[in-house]
Structure 1
Amino acid sequence: MDGSSAFGQRALGAQPYRSVLAAECAPRSPQRPSLAAIEPEDLLSLFDETAGAVAGALSELEDWGPAGTRPGQHRSDILADGAAVTALLDAGLGVCSEESGLHRKDRPIIVVVDPLDGSTNAAQGLGWYATSLCAVDERGALAALVRNLVSGESYTAVRGGGAYRDGSPIRPSAASELSEAVVGLSGCPPRHLGWRQFRALGASALDLCAVADGRLDGFVDFAAHCPWDYLGAMLVCREAGARIEDAAGRDLTTTDPGALRTVLAAAGETLLTELRAALDR
């Protein structure tokens, strides 16, 4: 965006950024189904409200900088966490949050949430950050939403139901050769791995969704991540038809806040195989 936009003003230190979602996604209190009868579509509606609550809370924040609580935690993280966790617990769900850990692990559905993925980007005025939510039941990832808090663009997926961006179906690119691929990175690669170009964008959930919809051809994680960083986007990728896995072969789906995974994603199996081989060289 240019310097005259709301985002441009915040980046230049003028008025604080007000999310495009704040006005239209203010918290609401509809009648909710019981947890025993909750459907994936009900979860997506709840996630939409939750992302709206986060956006509304952040729209009033003036200081997006470090909170002074622990390394890497920003004031925006704490505010976003309060809005998201409250909404999810009030709906009868368990929560595994980056900022506040595991809540009500006895509940049959646990929502793994990164209330503000890319908080450093947000603090620096870089417009690539999101809220990511993924509901996990006894069978695995059930429903997910990843919302870009700058553009308002939303990725959604339901187990067995496909993946969508703002209601339209998405598919990965047709890229099959690493030498022709544009690859998203998290962390610093030890060497050039043979891609055509790379991008280090700073918000793993959005980076992985960009693989799902074909804007990136692949993604390589050079710094292990916790489940809230990737789970929502994992379901989006799988339902879109992209390939995604842990580099060490571990199950990506977990609600353990201490679990670490090294994520690889690609438009298809051929490109994923090339990425694996490049990492092993």
Structure 2
Amino acid sequence: MDDDALMAILRQAVDAVAAALAALDDWGPAGTRPGQYRSDLVADEAALAVLDRAGLGAVSEESGVHHPDRPVVVMLDPVDGSTNASQGLPWYATSLCALDADGPRAAVVANQATGRCWEAVRGRGASRDGHPIAPSPCTVVADSIVGLSGYPAHDLGWRQYRALGAAALDLCAVAEGTLDGYVDCSPVPLAPWDYMGALLVCAEAGAVVAEAQSRELVVRGYGERRTVVAAGTPELLAGLLEQRARFS
């Protein structure tokens, strides 16, 4: 399967989720486990049907591991920011990242509230709605607007911060320069499906992403968690990592 065919499948999965959400009447809790919403379940079913028909494996936040031995496995968050979705806040996304033996190969992160879509293919750059993107040139923490997951024990020295509630979209905002940086401050770090699609978007756009404890970010295990820090420049990333290291 070539890159264009793979991207077409990821887009089909996004469209299938959009159709499933459009038919949903109740966006509230599913009653299955804490933090899982009805939107998560219908979106998961819709996306997995597309991926399975195409012969792809998947690791999904909502339903676990599917066909992990297939050559391409998709890291899937059917609705990243489902609490936002349940409240009618237009900042929630479907995030898909196809991984092969060499790591992240293709990604689509689609804001399901607005239709805005970020895409990336390894070695081919990143785009938003078909237009190339690039990160902010900001190099100094004191000049930066930083996205947060969770809230730090102290001010990190930013100019301003935003806590928007959907890591995939927050990281895509770093990739396109809407945010200068991003810091995961949550006591429960991000899972791979939260950040993997946006990780490729950032890398292909020219943004830099690191793990606060210097651990590998490209992981495939369902139980893996990572503390993600991102920035538009290496200088800002270094400053944000220094600030993040000041608290556990």
The corresponding residue for 1:215 is 178
2:85 aligned partner, one-letter code: A
Whether contact under 8 Å (2:74, 2:98) holds in the other structure is yes
Residue 250 (structure 1) shift: 1.2
The corresponding residue for 1:254 is 219
Whether contact under 8 Å (2:212, 2:245) holds in the other structure is no
1:179 aligned partner, one-letter code: A
1:48 equivalenced with 2:29 (yes/no): no
Residue 70 (structure 1) shift: 0.3
The corresponding residue for 1:92 is 55
The corresponding residue for 1:5 is none
Q: What secondary structure sits across from 1:147 in the alignment? A: strand
Task: Give the Cα separation in 1 of the matches to 2:4 and 2:128.
Answer: 15
Task: Give the Cα separation in 1 of the matches to 2:214 and 2:156.
Answer: 20
Whether contact under 8 Å (2:212, 2:244) holds in the other structure is no
* Length-normalised TM-score, structure 2: 0.97
2:223 aligned partner, one-letter code: G
Q: What secondary structure sits across from 2:115 in the alignment? A: coil
Residue 248 (structure 1) shift: 1.0
- What's the % identity of the aligned pairs? 55
Q: How does 1:108-257 map to 2 (within 5 A)?
A: 108-223=71-186, 224-257=189-222
Task: Give the Cα separation in 2 of the matches to 1:174 and 1:106.
Answer: 40
Poorly superposed stretches of 4+, deviation over 6 Å:
none
Question: In structure 1, which of residues 34, 48, 66 is the aligned counterpart of residue 29 of structure 2?
Answer: 66
1:270 aligned partner, one-letter code: E
Task: Give the Cα separation in 2 of the matches to 1:93 and 1:51.
Answer: 15
1:107 equivalenced with 2:63 (yes/no): no
Structure with higher Rg: it is 1
Residue 280 (structure 1) shift: 2.5
Residue 278 (structure 1) shift: 1.3
Residue 43 (structure 1) shift: 1.3
Task: Give the Cα separation in 1 of the matches to 2:16 and 2:218.
Answer: 26
Q: What secondary structure sits across from 1:81 in the alignment? A: helix
Stretches of structure 2 lacking an aligned partner (at least 5 in a row):
none
Task: Give the Cα separation in 1 of the matches to 2:244 and 2:227.
Answer: 12
* Length-normalised TM-score, structure 1: 0.86
1:150-172 per-residue CA deviation (whole Å, 9 max, x = no partner) reads 11111000111100001111000
Whether contact under 8 Å (2:135, 2:175) holds in the other structure is yes
The alignment yields a C-alpha RMSD, in angstroms, of 0.7
Q: What secondary structure sits across from 1:201 in the alignment? A: coil
1:279 equivalenced with 2:247 (yes/no): no
1:111-152 per-residue CA deviation (whole Å, 9 max, x = no partner) reads 001010000000001000000000001100000000011111
1:235-270 per-residue CA deviation (whole Å, 9 max, x = no partner) reads 000000000011111111111111000000001100
Aligned length: 244
Stretches of structure 1 lacking an aligned partner (at least 5 in a row):
1-37
2:129 aligned partner, one-letter code: D
